[in-house]
Chains A and B, each alone.
Chain A
């Protein structure tokens, strides 16, 4: 079995977002780049599955659409334990274009299980994995919070309103994963970092997939009015304010 994990390169989630002076772009200078948190959990789960598979999972590959600047993030994924990496050489214009590029790059590679994070922490699109499944004409399961491989069967928990479903699927399948899929992302070891330098990172030429959407303008969130403080010994005043001022209860 061969597993593929799709990796997005995003600003650290603690980044304070600054806009360019014309507000037509986000100022990404001095940003610390990381593996998208959901993709990192997907990679962690893929590695756990491989390690406990007794050799039946032969490889965990990663793929990314981006320019050379994101290779540090890909090397980190290799240091954590991915076996090889592909970088499709194109700016990631939108989810549609990214999914199209990934589909073109992997359609003949016979991956049995493809893992994608449920969203990226930058543009919060929640689109790429489902689009990839449609481009590849593959089955997919979204909102996956647990994934086990039992013989030929892939068992997944899909989160639904108020609970979850247990789903049985066969390879090939795309799992779009969220919180719960793995507990703690891994930290690369010194040995992992050394080994990652020798692992293959293949640059794949882009096919020129077209984006359908474009971010054109940004505005900062409106500044919030100061918090109204209430004395700790007078909680009835809070109830009063919620009722008469905020009119929310």
Chain B
């Protein structure tokens, strides 16, 4: 049970940074346990992409593709991961804390009677008892969770561990799968924005609040996002007003994000908003109210009207980008 199994979810056949992050994390745990770090990849992923996992300490990758795995389905995916954990004698199973992990990790947990920690924030602080750190109350406190079961499942928060290269020779092996796990659920349509930087992947997020006054005033926000290669986001009142889509709402009841740099522009910083952004490495705030709670969470602040400050700030960033 010293092996670690890492579910390496792909996005249109590619691995994102968060997957290399869990490969780094899982192989570090495997080294501590004295076992192997083994990945499982479901759906079509090219050989070169699979082998790239070796850079981060993965020594074997199990693959399964075909009809069962063409589109994401809970039942065959969870069954294949549990099967791989049994085959490889994996005591710890790692996911990236994504929507996919929310769908299947709990099923794998019940199949394997494995206690689960969702959105872990770092390595186990102790292997016996197996103790994993995570945030609770959306970052208002940190907790240590002891997983008492023989098997353990950890979903790692994005951008909480980083990438650690540890090159390993990697072999690719097919996982034999059964067809009896097919699902009666059908995907009848897929709507996906292409070419847009997704909030959960973004290293930089430019987020606007009520201080922008109206949906018509979003252009400088979009501009800043474009200059920096950032994703755009908003506070809850903005999405409730319909100024921006709900998918852009970050905060306790919207998306929880952890970029390297978060711009809170015209956002006062209600406790629920801060709960969704407090894991950001650096927060910049612009607000007219010098006493706004956002300045307690921010690293850098400007007191001023975002509509006046932002165009000048955009010019300054443009100049910086031109020179660097």
Q: Please give the residue numbers on chain A whose beta carbons come within 8 Å of chain B beta carbons, in ascending order.
A: 11, 13-17, 19, 26, 37-38, 94-96, 99, 118-119, 121-131, 133-135, 139-143, 145, 159-170, 173, 176, 179-180, 211-221, 224-225, 227-233, 235-236, 238-239, 241-243, 246, 248-249
Contact = CB atoms under 8 A, between A and B. Distances in A.
Interface of A, secondary structure class, is mixed
Contact of A224 (B111, B186, B297, B303): B297
B191 to A, nearest CB: 5
B271 A124 contact: no
Given A130-B102, A130-B105, A235-B309, A217 B144 contact: yes
28 contacts: A14-B271, A26-B136, A95-B116, A96-B110, A124-B134, A126-B97, A126-B102, A127-B105, A127-B116, A131-B110, A139-B184, A140-B103, A141-B103, A141-B185, A162-B192, A162-B198, A163-B190, A163-B193, A168-B188, A212-B115, A212-B148, A216-B144, A218-B141, A218-B144, A221-B140, A230-B301, A236-B316, A248-B261
Contacts of B275: 13
B107 A228 contact: no
B211 interface: no
B75 interface: yes
A243 B139 contact: no
Contacts of B324: 243
Q: How large is the interface on B (under 10, 10 to 19, 20 to 34, 35 or more residues)?
A: 35 or more
Given A139-B183, A163-B191, A218-B136, A213 B284 contact: no
A96 B297 contact: no
A171 B190 CA distance: 22
Contacts of B72: 160
B191 A164 contact: yes
B22 interface: no
B193 A162 contact: yes
Contact of A139 (B75, B118, B299): B75
Nearest to B71: A165
A249 B110 contact: no
Given A229-B302, A241-B300, A121 B106 contact: no
A140 B115 contact: no
Contacts of B118: 119, 124-127
Given A134-B111, A216-B146, A166 B189 contact: yes
Contacts of A235: 302, 309, 312-313, 315-316
Interface stretch (B28-36, B159-167, B248-256): B248-256
A236 B147 CA distance: 49
Given A134-B106, A139-B183, A227-B296, 10 more contacts: A11-B137, A17-B137, A17-B140, A130-B103, A142-B74, A212-B113, A218-B141, A218-B142, A232-B302, A232-B309
Contact of A238 (B145, B191, B228, B300): B300
B148 A213 contact: yes
List the 6 closest pairs (A to B, CB-CB), nearest first.
Answer: A130-B106, A212-B115, A232-B304, A142-B103, A163-B192, A134-B110
A17 B271 contact: no
Interface string B92-134: 0000011101111111011101111111000000000001001
A216 B301 CA distance: 37
Contacts of B303: 229, 232
Nearest to A217: B144
B272 A14 contact: yes
Contacts of B102: 118-119, 126, 130, 142-143, 176
Contacts of A134: 78, 106-107, 109-111
A164 B316 CA distance: 36
B107 A248 contact: no
Given A140-B74, A235-B312, A238-B316, A215 B144 contact: yes
A235 B187 CA distance: 48
Interface string B240-273: 0000001101001110000011000000000110
A127 B299 CA distance: 33
A135 B110 contact: yes
B146 A213 contact: yes
Contacts of A15: 137
Contacts of A122: 136-137
Contact of A239 (B192, B201, B253, B316): B316
B154 to A, nearest CB: 11
Contact of B302 (A128, A140, A161, A238): A238
